[in-house]
């Protein structure tokens, strides 16, 4: 006895389920790798932001030291100012002090700006760190899920592959080679339902003679156009059975 429409229909379904599992098994590591790459980029952003904040703090220290030096210089000049006798020298010192005070005021502005910059950068960094931390946790969760799914998917795939081999036993010996070739060519779509007299793989009509063989289930039929192994669609089968009664 040759493979019935029911067996072939099941075989087609089994091929599809196996393909879906293989696709998921193949795509999951890619999904994970993509997320891990994004995480690495974001972690690099955090490092950059930390470094920028560090640099701003160093800058602040420099400005503060500069301010101290400027203050010391002015104090020094004020002492000298009390000691000079000549009017010219007095004037020159006064000018120098005014000039240095202006410089000091500029440094004070810079200090203020740097403080503000540090505060803004600190807030942004804390936000970024929290986001990246949460994203890293997501990536770990995805990884755990993918790993646990992969083992159950592999087990399911093995079961399906066994079921496929069992269903293929009903394919007559002399048609096995052709069937295997078709599977290599079309993968999960090596089989196609025949509905309303047409192959659903390529939508080409089948001959009356082929249809009769499909209805009688006495011979394997391959679509003359696309080469897929045909089976009668489920409702077509019940209709034809009813008609033959």
Q: Which residues pair with 74 in a beta bridge?
A: none
Name the minimum Å distance from CB 37 to Zn ion: 42
CA distance 35 to 39: 6
Q: Is residue 159 helix, strand or coil? A: helix
Identify the DSSP state of 3: P
Name the minimum Å distance from CB 176 to Zn ion: 20
Name the minimum Å distance from CB 192 to Zn ion: 6
Q: Which is nearer to Zn ion, 97 or 222 (CB)?
A: 222
Longest alpha-carbon distance in the chain: 135
Q: Which residues pair with 230 in a beta bridge?
A: 192, 221
Residue selected from 56, 190, 201, 221 as contacting Zn ion according to rule CB under 5 A: 201
Kindly state the number of chain residues that form the binding site for Zn ion, as judged by CB under 5 A: 6
Dihedral sign of CA atoms 120, 126, 130, 131 in order: positive
Residue selected from 193, 199, 210, 236 as contacting Zn ion according to rule CB under 5 A: 199
Among 36-44, 100-108, 151-159, 201-209, the segment contacting Zn ion (CB under 5 A): 201-209
CA distance 110 to 118: 12
Q: Which is nearer to Zn ion, 201 or 217 (CB)?
A: 201
Among 90-98, 124-132, 179-187, 200-208, the segment contacting Zn ion (CB under 5 A): 200-208
**Interaction site with Zn ion (CB under 5 A):** 199, 201-202, 223, 225-226
């Amino acid at each position: 006895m040759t493979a019935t429409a029911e067996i072939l229909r099941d075989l087609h379904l089994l091929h599809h389920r196996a393909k879906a599992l293989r696709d998921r098994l193949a795509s999951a590591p890619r999904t994970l790798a993509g997320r891990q790459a994004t995480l690495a980029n974001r972690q690099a952003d955090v490092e950059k932001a930390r470094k920028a904040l560090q640099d701003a703090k160093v800058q602040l220290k420099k400005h503060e030291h500069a301010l101290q030096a400027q203050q010391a210089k002015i104090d020094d000049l004020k002492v000298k100012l009390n000691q000079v006798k000549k009017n010219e020298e007095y004037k020159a010192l006064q000018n120098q002090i005014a000039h240095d005070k202006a410089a000091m005021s500029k440094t004070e502005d810079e200090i203020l700006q740097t403080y503000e910059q540090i505060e803004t950068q600190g807030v942004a960094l804390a936000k970024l760190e929290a986001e990246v931390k949460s994203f890293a946790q997501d990536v770990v969760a995805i990884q755990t899920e993918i790993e646990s799914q992969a083992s159950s998917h592999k087990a399911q795939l093995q079961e399906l592959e066994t079921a496929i081999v069992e269903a293929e036993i009903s394919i007559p010996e002399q048609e096995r080679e052709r069937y295997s070739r078709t599977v290599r060519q079309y993968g999960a779509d090596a089989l196609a339902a025949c509905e309303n007299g047409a192959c659903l793989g390529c939508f080409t009509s089948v001959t009356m003679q082929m249809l009769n063989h499909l209805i009688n289930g006495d011979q394997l039929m391959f679509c003359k156009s696309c080469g897929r192994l045909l089976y009668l669609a489920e409702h077509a089968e019940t209709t034809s059975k009813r008609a033959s009664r």
